[in-house]
Amino acid sequence: MARLPYLPHTDADIQAMLDKIGVKKLDELYSDVPAEFLHKGVYALPPAMSEQEIRDCFASLEAMNAKLKVFVGAGAYDHYTPAVIPYLCARSEFLTAYTPYQCEISQGTLRYIFEYQSLICALTGLDVSNASLYDGPTAAAEAMKMAVACTRKKTRVLLSRGLLPHVMEVVETYARFHGVQIGYVPVMNGQTCPNCLKAELAKDDVAGVIVPSINRYGIVEDHTGFADAIHAQKGLLIEYCDPSALAVVKTPGEWDADIAIGDGQPLGLPLSYGGPYVGFMAVKKEHMRKMPGRIVGQTVDKEGRRVFVLTLQAREQHIKREKATSNICSNESLMALWVTIYLSLMGPEGLKEVNKLSTDGAHYLYGELLKTGQFEEVFPGKPFLKEFVLKPKQAGLQERLEKAGFFAALPTEEGYVSFCVTEKRTKAEIDALVKAVKEG
Amino acid sequence: MKYYDKLIFECSREGRCGYSLPRNAFPAAGELPAALRRQAPLALPQVSEPDVVRHYTNLSQMNFGVDTGFYPLGSCTMKYNPKINEEMAALQGFQGLHPLMPARLTEGACKVYEEMDKALAAITGMYKFTFAPCAGAHGELTGLMLMRQYHINRGDLKRTKVIVPDSAHGTNPASAAVCGLEVVEVKSLANGRIDVEALKPLLTDEVAGIMMTNPNTLGLFETEIGTIAALVHAAGGLLYYDGANMNPLMGVVRPGDMGFDIMHLNLHKTFSTPHGGGGPGSGPVGVARKLVDCLPAIRVSAFHGNFGVILRAYAYILALGQEHLRKVGQYAVLSANYIKESLKDVYKLPIEGVCKHEFVFDGLINDGAHDDVPGATTLDVAKRLLDYGFHAPTIYFPLLFHQALMIEPTETESKETIDAFIEVMRKIAAEAAQDPNILHDAPHNTPISRPDETTAARNPILKYQENS
């Protein structure tokens, strides 16, 4: 049988090692396992493949997937990834390292996490960021837990119905087991309803409120008065954001939010069928010690040089066990590097330009679609950037557009269809999409 | 490795840019209302593409990865990460898939999930896997939610406690707390195994189940697992298997056969996907048939989990196939026992006997303490290893031993590498006996020396500020 190239052991090596241990056969190394638990049958796995066969297998699987132009967002955005990012993230010193527990040989990881934290603070306008969480929805769930931990006696967390459905579902799952009650604030006229929020707050049991900076209909929300109302009864305002859009929309810091959360995916991460992505969280300084996850801080070494370490670890599971602020251990470090390099390349002007291109493209599509006469406006005049919903006059639009080569017109539960345009979509592609709509 | 001091912000010059975007072919959309616009300046760096490449290349050179050298980090299974896996995960036909695409558009991706489910079920003896969890601790939490859901579905609402051994990974009790479960600790015996007699009185009708890893964090097989499983099941509880220590069982023992009802796997440990400096991982959770109905009620991540990581693990499983699976477990165990036997005359081995993929020393036998000079600690040994070009083992875990030094070599290290490690560990022991100060001051040859961690925590500087 051919050897597996990942295993260096020769027969002579194995024999020498067995001799040192003082056993005769490899099987004897399992002498402590009761015989009834040693697997006797054959493992139902395919025969081992050579590298070429693996390649062929993946090529045939890849060919089974449709290749469509993506005109859908809804929590995952098809923004452009500059070539530099995968190139640098593939460097094995980053890719094959563990968590930076030995800081003397992990300054690369620690420095980029420090940069990542700084960039997330710059985008959100808040004081302190952690080193990353799994994704946007779990970041929201962590914020929900954090609100309860920060406000102690309050037991309920409110979710705006404007949040993406999968964000709400994850928060609801965590809340059910963590023992947190969930309440809801409805959307009225395309935006989280301020009066409904105030009515819920009047019950005086609200630990925190999670609202979308840009909601599931693509509308940029106005949160004037939210922070004051929530803070008046000692709850936390939590803003769920698209970090790319924070280059142009009012920041959580400017809304006086206590916590900003969201998914870093729009910052140049490939769609990759939903992951790996990266959850981010930034908070006001007073909540720093209640924050989940790893945090990197700056200090000096014995020679007085600027160095970086994991810090405030007294919050974490490996120290505090069941009293930790969260159970998170591995997070999405390499994707935080991805985001860090993306933001470094784009800079302030690039990120604004990405927003401008996406927004102009989306508004162009919106206008062209209305001209076809096949849609009704749902929220006329409401401000949006790259994403919007319309009400189609005919059913089955998504399937028809698939046949024309587009993933577009994602149905929502209200019977609308949702579209999204990023800077990757050309005018020619948009015109072709509109043509396909017209031709029915 | 050499010290490099810059942060990306310090490479920034007004007017530079590192992006290339298409010409805007659209009419300008109207501006956002002023009340909804960002007013604050956007303090991102302004850097050219070559500057970015050089900066991050310099940062990478202060890092140590598995491709750099031996990484015997206990409980972390730092095995070689095959390069074909990276290429397969980067295929455009997978990377370009939107997560909300219906199955009719993603048949290839769906097939990967199906095949992975079958393969992991075969390897572990579980019935069905969910791939939603993004890491090991996330898998634990998901598994505990499933455990609670199982009891809830049966109307058994009082089961709100979970038993966790004192040797467990820190994530176990932390995950239990997030899941709203009360942690009840069960003690270990002097031989490092769970004390079955101490377990018996804990098994009340309020217990949802027990979390175990087998082999445990001392690298020892829980020989009484058959009895424990029978006791827990008889008391109406379920058994959770923490798959962080699955590597030695590959191809030899299946958690499902030992009586476990729920488990997670760390694809970034056992299934060779790179750890990425702290993720992305993937923590698929497998359940026994009786728990399948509980799966739909639990949604723990955005979409389908970390698909890119799952693709890598699938490529690894294809390379292993039926033929090589067993070698993974066997060689991992062989290497661990070989190191243990080669060093136990200079490092304290608290529990004799065959180990599995890892083992724990309790510090040096002769730490060199004399007169006013304190002896060399496990931290000192770890730091001195860095000088000799090895990553340190896991230190001060498990908590059962004060000077714990936990070594896991994995199956992908050659005998020469392992022998070199053994030689250095012996040399360090000799140095300690002679002059522990050499170790106290270590590391000497790394880009930085030991940091002032106290100041870091007392006066936290957590983001870049100009002139800081």
pLDDT, tens digit (0-9, with 9 covering 90-100), for A392-410: 999 999 999 999 999 999 9
pLDDT score of A133 more than 80: yes
B273 in helix, strand or coil? coil
Length of chain B: 468
Q: In the listed set B297, B320, B343, which residue is the last one of a domain according to the structure?
A: B320
B359 in helix, strand or coil? strand
In B301-414, where does DSSP find H-type helix?
Answer: 307-343, 378-387
Tell me the per-residue pLDDT of A188-206, one tens digit each, with 9 for 90 and over: 999 999 999 999 999 999 9
What pLDDT was estimated at residue A169? 98
Domain of A371, CATH number, reads 3.90.1150.10
Instruction: Find chain A residues with C-beta within 8 A of B43's C-beta.
Output: 122, 348
Does A382 lie in the same domain as A260? no
- For the record, the structure tokens of B117 come out as 């489910």
Contact call for B275 and A97, based on CB within 8 A? yes
Could you say which of A129, A248, A317 has the minimum Cβ distance to residue B171? Answer: A317
A149 touches chain B (CB under 8 A): no
State which H helix or E strand residue B152 sits in. Answer: helix B136-153
CA B128 to CA B125: how far, in whole Å? 9
What's the total number of domains in chain A?
A: 2
How close is the nearest chain A Cα to the Cα of B418, in Å?
10
Tell me the per-residue pLDDT of A326-373, one tens digit each, with 9 for 90 and over: 899 999 999 999 999 999 999 999 999 999 999 999 999 999 999 999
How close is the nearest chain B Cα to the Cα of A399, in Å?
10
Could you say which of A67, A138, A351 has the minimum Cβ distance to residue B44? Answer: A351
Does B334 lie in the same domain as B309? no
Does B269 lie in the same domain as B121? yes
Instruction: Find chain B residues with C-beta within 8 A of A39's C-beta.
Output: 125, 251-254, 257
pLDDT score of A320 more than 90: no
| Spatial contact of B171 and B151, defined as CB atoms under 8 Å apart | no
How close is the nearest chain B Cα to the Cα of A207, in Å?
17
Does A229 lie in the same domain as A333? yes
Alpha-carbon torsion, ordered B254, B258, B261, B266, to 10 deg: -40
| Spatial contact of A7 and B412, defined as CB atoms under 8 Å apart | yes
Does A365 lie in the same domain as A288? no
A184 touches chain B (CB under 8 A): no
Domain of B347, CATH number, reads 3.90.1150.10
Does A334 lie in the same domain as A266? yes
What's the total number of domains in chain B?
A: 2
Domain of A266, CATH number, reads 3.40.640.10
What pLDDT was estimated at residue A154? 84
Distances in whole angstroms, Cα of residue B203 to Cα of each of A402, B197, B232: 56, 11, 7
A250 touches chain B (CB under 8 A): yes
Q: What's the 3-state SS for B209-250?
A: EEEECCCCCCCCCCCCHHHHHHHHHHCCCEEEEEECCCHHHC
How close is the nearest chain B Cα to the Cα of A395, in Å?
17
Does B304 lie in the same domain as B393? no
Q: How many other β-carbons are positioned within 10 Å of the β-carbon of residue A376?
A: 12
Place of tokens 């070599």: B409
pLDDT score of B35 more than 70: yes
Does B267 lie in the same domain as B337? no
Burial class (CB in 10 A: 0-12, 13-18, 19+), B30: exposed
Residue of chain A nearest B463, judged by CA positions: A118
Contacts for A105 with CB less than 8 Å, ≥ 6 apart: B1, B62, B63, B64, B386, B391, B446, B447
Boundaries of domain holding A152:
84-340
Instruction: Find chain A residues with C-beta within 8 A of B45's C-beta.
Output: 343-344, 347
What pLDDT was estimated at residue B79? 98
Does A354 lie in the same domain as A333? no
State which H helix or E strand residue B428 sits in. Answer: helix B415-434
Tell me the per-residue pLDDT of A59-76, one tens digit each, with 9 for 90 and over: 999 999 999 999 999 999
Does A140 lie in the same domain as A240? yes
DSSP B34: G
| Spatial contact of A272 and B308, defined as CB atoms under 8 Å apart | yes
Does B203 lie in the same domain as B101? yes
pLDDT score of A13 more than 60: yes
Tell me the per-residue pLDDT of A134-167, one tens digit each, with 9 for 90 and over: 999 999 999 999 999 998 778 899 999 999 999 9
| Spatial contact of B316 and A58, defined as CB atoms under 8 Å apart | no
Domain of B99, CATH number, reads 3.40.640.10
Tell me the per-residue pLDDT of B389-423, one tens digit each, with 9 for 90 and over: 999 999 999 988 999 999 999 999 999 999 999 99
- B302 found inside a domain: yes
How close is the nearest chain A Cα to the Cα of B61, in Å?
7
Burial class (CB in 10 A: 0-12, 13-18, 19+), B230: exposed
A 129-148 residues inside an 8 A Cβ radius of B: 129, 131-132, 134-138, 145
Global confidence as pTM? 0.97
- For the record, the structure tokens of A225 come out as 């008065």
Candidates B97, B338, B467, partner chain A, best to mutate (most A CBs within 10 A): B97
Q: In the listed set B301, B320, B339, which residue is the last one of a domain according to the structure?
A: B320
- For the record, the structure tokens of A32 come out as 């402590």
- For the record, the structure tokens of B246 come out as 């699955």
pLDDT score of A181 more than 60: yes
- B225 found inside a domain: yes
What pLDDT was estimated at residue A171? 98
| Spatial contact of B169 and B135, defined as CB atoms under 8 Å apart | no
What pLDDT was estimated at residue A315? 80
How close is the nearest chain A Cα to the Cα of B371, in Å?
25
CA B277 to CA B139: how far, in whole Å? 19
What pLDDT was estimated at residue A1? 57
Query: In this structure, which amino acid lies at residue A26?
Result: L
Tell me the per-residue pLDDT of B189-203, one tens digit each, with 9 for 90 and over: 999 999 999 999 999
How close is the nearest chain B Cα to the Cα of A318, in Å?
5
Does B370 lie in the same domain as B295? no
What pLDDT was estimated at residue A137? 98
B 93-112 residues inside an 8 A Cβ radius of A: 93-101, 104-109, 111-112
What pLDDT was estimated at residue A324? 83
Instruction: Find chain B residues with C-beta within 8 A of A109's C-beta.
Output: 63, 277-278
Boundaries of domain holding B364:
328-454
Does A328 lie in the same domain as A193? yes
pLDDT score of A34 more than 80: yes
CA B191 to CA B400: how far, in whole Å? 11
Tell me the per-residue pLDDT of B425-450, one tens digit each, with 9 for 90 and over: 999 999 999 999 999 999 999 999 99
Strand partners, B394: B406
CA angle A338, A344, A348 (to 5 degrees): 125
Does B412 lie in the same domain as B298? no
pLDDT score of A321 more than 90: no
Contact call for B32 and A302, based on CB within 8 A? no
Alpha-carbon torsion, ordered B166, B171, B173, B174, to 10 deg: 150
B349 touches chain A (CB under 8 A): no
Q: In the listed set B290, B320, B350, which residue is the last one of a domain according to the structure?
A: B320
Contact call for A112 and B59, based on CB within 8 A? yes
How close is the nearest chain B Cα to the Cα of A225, in Å?
12
- A145 found inside a domain: yes
Contact call for A353 and B3, based on CB within 8 A? no
Instruction: Find chain A residues with C-beta within 8 A of B408's C-beta.
Output: none
Does A389 lie in the same domain as A322? no
CA B76 to CA B244: how far, in whole Å? 7
- B398 found inside a domain: yes
A24 touches chain B (CB under 8 A): no
Tell me the per-residue pLDDT of A225-258, one tens digit each, with 9 for 90 and over: 999 999 999 999 999 999 999 999 999 999 999 9
How close is the nearest chain A Cα to the Cα of B212, in Å?
15
B69 touches chain A (CB under 8 A): no
A178 touches chain B (CB under 8 A): yes
B437 touches chain A (CB under 8 A): no
B127 touches chain A (CB under 8 A): no
What pLDDT was estimated at residue B467? 60
Instruction: Find chain B residues with C-beta within 8 A of A327's C-beta.
Output: 137-138, 140-141, 171, 174-175, 177-178
A125 touches chain B (CB under 8 A): yes
> Helix A165-178 crosses helix B136-153 at what angle (to 10 degrees)?
70
- A45 found inside a domain: no
What pLDDT was estimated at residue B123? 98
pLDDT score of A325 more than 90: no
| Spatial contact of B137 and A329, defined as CB atoms under 8 Å apart | yes
Tell me the per-residue pLDDT of B248-286, one tens digit each, with 9 for 90 and over: 999 999 999 999 999 999 999 999 999 999 999 999 999
Contacts for A153 with CB less than 8 Å, ≥ 6 apart: none
Contact call for A4 and B57, based on CB within 8 A? no
Does B178 lie in the same domain as B162? yes
Contact call for B342 and A20, based on CB within 8 A? yes
Residue of chain B nearest A139, judged by CA positions: B301
A215 touches chain B (CB under 8 A): no
Candidates A273, A284, A291, partner chain B, best to mutate (most B CBs within 10 A): A273
DSSP B30: P
- For the record, the structure tokens of A305 come out as 């040089």
Contact call for A4 and B461, based on CB within 8 A? no
Comparing CA positions, the residue from B230, B217, B238 lying closest to residue B289 is B238
pLDDT score of B468 more than 60: no
Does A135 lie in the same domain as A211? yes
DSSP for B44-65 reads -----HHHHHHHHHHHHTTB--
